[in-house]
Amino acid sequence: MLTNRQLQILQVIVDDFIVSAQPVGSRQISKKQGITFSPATIRNEMADLEELGFLEKTHTSSGRVPSEKGYRFYVDHLLSPQGINSKDIQQIQSIFNDRLVEVEHIIRKSANILSELTSYTSILLGPDVQRHRVKRFSIVPLSSDTAVAIIVTNNGHVENRMFNLPPDFTASDLEKMVNILNDRLIGVSLEDLHKSLEAEVLAVLQQHIRSADDFIHALVTATMHNSESKIFYGGKTNMFNQPEFHDLNKVRMILDLMETTSQVQSLFHPNEAGIHIRIGSENKQLEMENCSVITTTYSIGDDQQGAIAIIGPTRMDYKRVVALLDVMRLDLTQAFTKNRSE
Amino acid sequence: MLTNRQLQILQVIVDDFIVSAQPVGSRQISKKQGITFSPATIRNEMADLEELGFLEKTHTSSGRVPSEKGYRFYVDHLLSPQGINSKDIQQIQSIFNDRLVEVEHIIRKSANILSELTSYTSILLGPDVQRHRVKRFSIVPLSSDTAVAIIVTNNGHVENRMFNLPPDFTASDLEKMVNILNDRLIGVSLEDLHKSLEAEVLAVLQQHIRSADDFIHALVTATMHNSESKIFYGGKTNMFNQPEFHDLNKVRMILDLMETTSQVQSLFHPNEAGIHIRIGSENKQLEMENCSVITTTYSIGDDQQGAIAIIGPTRMDYKRVVALLDVMRLDLTQAFTKNRSE
DNA sequence: GTTAGCACTCGACTAAGAGGAGTGCTAATA
DNA sequence: TATTAGCACTCCTCTTAGTCGAGTGCTAAC
């Protein structure tokens, strides 16, 4: 158990290091407001805190730097909730000024503003398309052997995919087919779509249409992929500002990671509510060793979720980012639920 | 006019500098195959070439480096067409192995392979959607006051956009409307779409449907934007490999530039056939001072074009990139015209 | 016209030394 | 007993000086 004084010193060190990016020394700490004890005392306490694993030295005679464990403790116990600036709030509100109808635009703008306000990199996941429900199914033939299948979902999202038509497929076949698909599939969520296709629709189609097998097969493969939620980035190069990323290799690894959808997805917690913080190696990715990721989710309508992540150095301004994400999450949720009930 | 010997020396210097990234000295040149004269002679020639503006020194006693004018001369007069490796050809062919139907997938894969083969950054512009023609127009209502307009083009591209419905809009209005739109707009190119909407369709709609004005207005704004051709990137971080980009700021500027659609568009020559090379400051952008951009176009079907750009340092392997782009351009063109006539 | 020779330049690297911020330990103090 | 002043020590950072080597320009010889 840490003493009050130790808590106070740890807090000062983390707070100071977050803004200065320099190891913090005992003399420096002693000059801070609220510190009533001498550098020597502080040195003793720091030695203890280091032994306990909360602090580290960069070399024998350097000041102290928070360890991952130190950040973790700071985040868990020393993070007083902070109000945010009215100017910041105004800027966030500006996202919703434009009466944008489309979810995509709002999210894109949010990503940019978040990265501006934090000066870190933001990643926003759009609604989980998998959970949208089919509103309308249509097929538009392009030539004798290709067609586009189009699915419109209840939220106005449109999926489309080209596929090959079986050779002896007539226009009336197509019409029958579309009718059957619309009869059976409306209301089915995209994630259940190919299950439903195979389970319910296949049999019916086989009765009515020649070469339904081929067709369904083409359709199933077409609907199976390509339904990840879209990813929006803000301030991709913001990390160049941080002194810890003056190393080209680190930056490169992180930028490469952000190009890989699966890696980006794994930054997010699977749909848990609230704000989550992962510090340094708590991220499974090697590339993120020196990064912290703060994530949260927002709601779109009743049953859908999007997610937000902020990526910065472990020396991140946790207090501010948490506060901003909290506002952002609520505002987005509000905007999207209002939007739908209108 | 340059003497033969000067040409030969210039060529050797550029060729050498392209692979070594180090200033080239007279002794080094004298050891090259085909060089029969002494370092002293070479020094004299180099002094002349420098005076003529083809070479530069990094400091008083350094070897020589090609100037922009030097590269330009090299590209215009010394660039012997080069065949490419069968392994490279194989890799390019692999793009078309998968029987991919969708243009987008082929282009995405092409971007990746080009960046791999060149170790520079590639940018591919998809077909100019503006020139697609309307194949089918449909409107799917989502709620009492919102709907999605969907346009399928002759090439299987799907544009969609949400918009607000006027308050007193009935289902039969909608049906009439869709019929009229399909009657009048099929075959119209997307770039002419809002013109046609206003010129031909508006009057007809006003006769048949209440509040057509509002509706058309919503539709026009919906179709006007969002029809830029898609941009695909390959090897965004490849430039980190180049020694000239060990400067964080340069890299950052270029990466930022690549996030800005308008800036990226302006890298391309407006639809001129052939392969174009812009060296250093020949690019209008300040950010591209140290870069060269090689662009070309490929055809999709009969009347549509996509474009390819490779971005690298001015010290780019022009010979190789030009050869690769030439193959790529032809292969893509072939794949896309075959695809359509099938 | 070409080339060997030579003095000179300048970047890259290494070594040495000064300065400064910070530590740990010891002993004195409240 | 907890705190603090004092002090020797460590190690980073910055500067200076010196060496090395690749390269140049110029001059004179071939």
What is the length of chain A? 342
Handedness of CA A227, A123, A238, B247 (dihedral sign): negative
| Nearest-neighbour CA in chain A from B89: distance (Å) | 26
Contact (CB, 8 A) for B153 and A150: no
Handedness of CA A67, A69, A70, A74 (dihedral sign): positive
Q: CB distance from A154 to chain B under 8 Å?
A: yes
Residue of B143, B150, B218, B138 whose CA lies nearest to B177:
B138
A-contacting residues in B 96-135 (Cβ below 8 Å): 101-102, 135
Contact (CB, 8 A) for B147 and B175: no
Handedness of CA B258, B261, B267, B271 (dihedral sign): positive
Paired tokens of A163: 């596929």
Contact (CB, 8 A) for A163 and A339: no
Contact B255 A236 (CB under 8 A): yes
Percent of chain A residues past pLDDT 70, beyond the cut:
94
A321, amino acid identity: V
| Nearest-neighbour CA in chain B from A300: distance (Å) | 15
Residue of A54, A100, A95, A61 whose CA lies nearest to A77:
A54
Which whole number is the average pLDDT over A298-310?
A: 89
Contact (CB, 8 A) for A300 and A127: yes
Which whole number is the average pLDDT over A33-60?
A: 96
Check pLDDT > 70 for residue A340: no
Higher pLDDT, A155 or B67: B67
Which whole number is the average pLDDT over B209-237?
A: 76
How far is it, in rounded angstroms, from Cα A138 to Cα A148? Answer: 8
Check pLDDT > 90 for residue B117: yes
Distance of A33 CA from C20 C1′ (whole Å): 25
How far is it, in rounded angstroms, from Cα A272 to Cα A259? Answer: 24
What is the per-residue pLDDT for B28?
A: 95
What is the DSSP pairing of strand B146-153 with strand B134-141? antiparallel
What is the per-residue pLDDT for B327?
A: 96
Which whole number is the average pLDDT over B10-32?
A: 97
Which whole number is the average pLDDT over B145-161?
A: 88
Contact (CB, 8 A) for A298 and A329: yes
Residue of A301, A323, A327 whose CA lies nearest to A82:
A323
Q: pLDDT band for B225, please (50, 70, 90 cuts).
A: low
pLDDT tens, B273-290? 899 999 999 999 999 999
A342, amino acid identity: E
Contact B248 A255 (CB under 8 A): no
Nearest by CB to residue A154, choosing from B142, B163, B259, is: B142
How far is it, in rounded angstroms, from Cα B236 to Cα A252? Answer: 10
Beta bridge partners of B278: B293
Which whole number is the average pLDDT over A292-306?
A: 90
Check pLDDT > 90 for residue A3: yes
Check pLDDT > 80 for residue A73: yes
Q: CB distance from B162 to chain A under 8 Å?
A: yes
What is the per-residue pLDDT for A103?
A: 83
Q: Which nucleotide is nearest to A43 (CA to C1')?
A: C23
Instruction: Label residue A117 exposed, middle or buried (CB < 10 Å: 0-12, 13-18, 19+).
Output: buried
DSSP B23: P
Backbone angles phi, psi at A71, to 5 degrees: -60, -45
Q: Which nucleotide is nearest to B62 (CA to C1')?
A: D23
pLDDT tens, A313-337? 999 999 999 999 999 999 999 998 8
What is the length of chain B? 342
Which helix or strand (DSSP H or E) is residue A195 part of?
helix A190-196
Check pLDDT > 60 for residue B122: yes
Q: CB distance from A186 to chain B under 8 Å?
A: no
Which helix or strand (DSSP H or E) is residue A321 part of?
helix A318-341
A42, amino acid identity: I
How far is it, in rounded angstroms, from Cα A186 to Cα A181? Answer: 8
Nearest by CB to residue B140, choosing from A135, A145, A237, is: A135
Q: Which nucleotide is nearest to B40 (CA to C1')?
A: C3
Average pLDDT, chain A: 89
Helix axes A318-341, A86-93, angle to 10 degrees: 40
Q: Which of A52-66, A189-203, B25-39 has the lowest mean pLDDT?
A: A189-203
What is the per-residue pLDDT for B212?
A: 66
For chain A, the distance separating the N- and C-terminal CA atoms, rounded to the nearest angstrom, is 53
Which whole number is the average pLDDT over A68-77?
A: 98
Helical spans, DSSP H, in A34-85 = 39-51, 68-73
Contact A101 B164 (CB under 8 A): yes
| Nearest-neighbour CA in chain A from B223: distance (Å) | 14
Q: Which residue of A has its CA nearest to B153?
A: A142
- CA distances to B14, B45, B135 from B3, rounded to whole Å, are 17, 10, 61
How far is it, in rounded angstroms, from Cα B46 to Cα B60? Answer: 13
Distance of B14 CA from C8 C1′ (whole Å): 27
What is the per-residue pLDDT for A338?
A: 66
Q: CB distance from B221 to chain A under 8 Å?
A: no
Check pLDDT > 70 for residue B110: yes
Longest dimension (CA), chain B: 90
Check pLDDT > 70 for residue B226: no
| Nearest-neighbour CA in chain A from B27: distance (Å) | 34
Instruction: Give the mutation candidate from A100, A102, A230 for the B interface (greatest B CB count, under 10 A).
Output: A102
Paired tokens of A108: 């894109």
Q: Which of A29-33, A126-130, A303-307, B101-105 has the lowest mean pLDDT?
A: B101-105
CB within 8 Å of B166: residues ≥ 6 apart: B210, B211, B214, B215
Check pLDDT > 80 for residue B13: yes
Nearest by CB to residue B158, choosing from A154, A160, A340, is: A160
Q: What phi-psi label fits residue A21: left (phi over 0), alpha (psi between -120 and 50 degrees) or beta?
A: left
B306, amino acid identity: G
The CA radius of gyration of chain A, in Å to the nearest whole number, is 26
Average pLDDT, chain B: 89
Contact (CB, 8 A) for A78 and A66: no
Higher pLDDT, B96 or B56: B56
DSSP B317: -
How would you write B103-169 as a 3-class SS string?
HHHHHHHHHHHHHHHHCCEEEEECCCHHHCEEEEEEEEECCCCEEEEEEEECCCCEEEEEEECCCCC
Q: CB distance from A338 to chain B under 8 Å?
A: no
Helical spans, DSSP H, in chain B = 4-20, 26-30, 39-51, 68-73, 86-93, 103-118, 171-185, 190-196, 202-208, 212-224, 248-259, 261-265, 318-341
What is the per-residue pLDDT for B342?
A: 40
Check pLDDT > 50 for residue A342: no
Contact (CB, 8 A) for B283 and B291: yes
Q: CB distance from B161 to chain A under 8 Å?
A: yes
Higher pLDDT, B22 or A204: B22
Residue of B140, B147, B222 whose CA lies nearest to A138:
B140
Handedness of CA A158, A159, A161, A166 (dihedral sign): negative
Q: Which nucleotides of C are covered by protein (CB under 7 A)?
A: 2-5, 8-11, 20-26
What is the per-residue pLDDT for A176?
A: 85
Which whole number is the average pLDDT over A14-33?
A: 96
Q: CB distance from B160 to chain A under 8 Å?
A: yes
| Nearest-neighbour CA in chain A from B341: distance (Å) | 9
| SS3 category, B212 | helix
| Nearest-neighbour CA in chain A from B237: distance (Å) | 6
Which whole number is the average pLDDT over B220-237?
A: 79
A87, amino acid identity: K
B-chain residues near A259 (CB < 8 A): 236
Distance of B60 CA from C7 C1′ (whole Å): 15
CA atoms within 13 A on the CB side of A50: 16
Which residues in 28-47 of chain B line strand D, with CB less than 7 A from it?
28, 39-40, 43, 46-47
How far is it, in rounded angstroms, from Cα B148 to Cα B129? Answer: 19
Which whole number is the average pLDDT over B166-170?
A: 78
CB within 8 Å of B75: residues ≥ 6 apart: B277, B279, B318
| SS3 category, B294 | strand
Instruction: Give the mutation candidate from A152, A263, A341 for the B interface (greatest B CB count, under 10 A).
Output: A152
Longest dimension (CA), chain A: 90
Check pLDDT > 70 for residue A207: yes
Q: pLDDT band for B102, please (50, 70, 90 cuts).
A: confident
Q: pLDDT band for A341, please (50, 70, 90 cuts).
A: very low
pLDDT tens, A241-276? 999 999 899 999 999 999 999 999 999 977 788 999
Check pLDDT > 70 for residue A66: yes
Pairs of CB atoms within 8 A across A/B: 77
Q: pLDDT band for B341, please (50, 70, 90 cuts).
A: very low
pTM as predicted: 0.91
Distance of A42 CA from D6 C1′ (whole Å): 16
Q: Which nucleotides of D are covered by protein (CB under 7 A)?
A: 3-6, 9-12, 21-27
CA atoms within 13 A on the CB side of A306: 32
From the Cβ of A62, is strand D under 7 Å away? yes
B131, amino acid identity: R
A-contacting residues in B 280-309 (Cβ below 8 Å): none
Paired tokens of B262: 């308008």
Q: CB distance from B252 to chain A under 8 Å?
A: yes
Q: Which nucleotide is nearest to B59 (CA to C1')?
A: C10
